[in-house]
Amino acid sequence: MSAEEVRELLLATHAFPGSYTMKVIGAAGDDFVGRVVLAAQHSLARPADILHRTRSTPNGEHVSVTLVMHVETPEEIITVYESLQRVQGLKVLM
């Protein structure tokens, strides 16, 4: 899907400005959660507008990070996804 198609899809399914939720799953340890939050914060125009919660798998091998952030534009969301894709230890990005 092209960047323009992603942008159009986001515009069709979300109100801007507004809240947007992402889920990131990765290997626990090595401050994965901190790196995820930092990558998202660096991608936002207003980095203070981000909340996160975590949940670990029963065996502690992986951790899920739910990010809830205020976004102004679809481009901000695209930028956050691009930044999160580069986080070491990433397994799933939704």
Taking residues 40-62, report their average pLDDT. Answer: 91
pLDDT above 90 (res 2): no
Local confidence band at 1 (pLDDT 50, 70, 90 cut-offs): confident
CA distance 41 to 48: 7
* Type of residue found at 1: M
Q: Where are the domains of the chain?
A: 3-93
| pLDDT given for residue 41 in this prediction | 94
Categorize the per-residue pLDDT at 67 as very low, low, confident or very high, splitting at 50, 70 and 90.
very high
Q: Which residues contact 12 (CB under 8 A, 6 or more apart)?
A: none
- Segment 7-26, tens digit of pLDDT: 999 999 999 999 999 999 99
Q: For domain 3-93, which architecture applies?
A: 2-Layer Sandwich (3.30)
